[in-house]
Amino acid sequence: MVFPDQLKKYRFILASKSPRRQYLLKELGIPFELRTKEVDEHFPAELKREEIPLYLSKLKADAFEGELDENTIVITADTIVWINDHVLNKPADHAEAVQMLRELSGNRHEVYTGVCLKSKNKEVCFHARTDVYFKKLSDAEIDFYINTCQPFDKAGAYGAQEWVGYVGIEKIEGTYFNVMGLPLYELYRELVKF
């Protein structure tokens, strides 16, 4: 794969345990080192919508303060599901996953991903929003999905690239890759400008 000339001077660190983000960044053709840090992911209760993942992605990037040079860029990201004026994080257990999927069933929700790019001298944070419309899911479909795909590491208890996405998502307005956890169009645009 041909790597864009304007990005060749940089070394990239992806600070994410998400296999989806790792896969997507590889597909974008960007070589990276994987390095994660434990960060307390609590956020102020007054934050809403894109403010939450922007806050968390900046928090993750700030954990690398003092470790980066001018030509090293750390990429951090956080994705949330927003519905009925509240956030859906990762489900703690099967019961919470069922509850989340029942709430998403037959409704529109918003997916926000906040991304932060940080080097020694510069920091750029941005977000993407995608509206996702779910068909009405039966309890049998919800149970089948949770039992076969174990979506406990995903905001809103689902992955668009998994079974429930195939049968449940009626339409998407915005970038699909944002729903997977990394808005590639926006990321590439910001990296080229960086």
Q: Could you list the active site residues?
A: 78
Range list of H helices, 36-183:
51-62, 94-104, 139-149, 163-168, 176-180
User: Which residues lie below 8 Å from residue 132, measured CB to CB, with a gap of 6+?
Assistant: 108, 109, 110, 111, 160, 169, 172, 179
Query: 69 is written with which tokens?
Result: 């040079």
CA gap 10, 6 in Å, rounded: 9
111 and 127 Cβ atoms separated by less than 8 Å: no
CA 47 to chain centroid: 17
- Give strand ranges (E) for the chain: 11-14, 33-34, 72-83, 86-88, 108-118, 123-134, 169-173
Q: Phi first, then psi: what are they for 173, rounded to 5°?
A: -115, 115
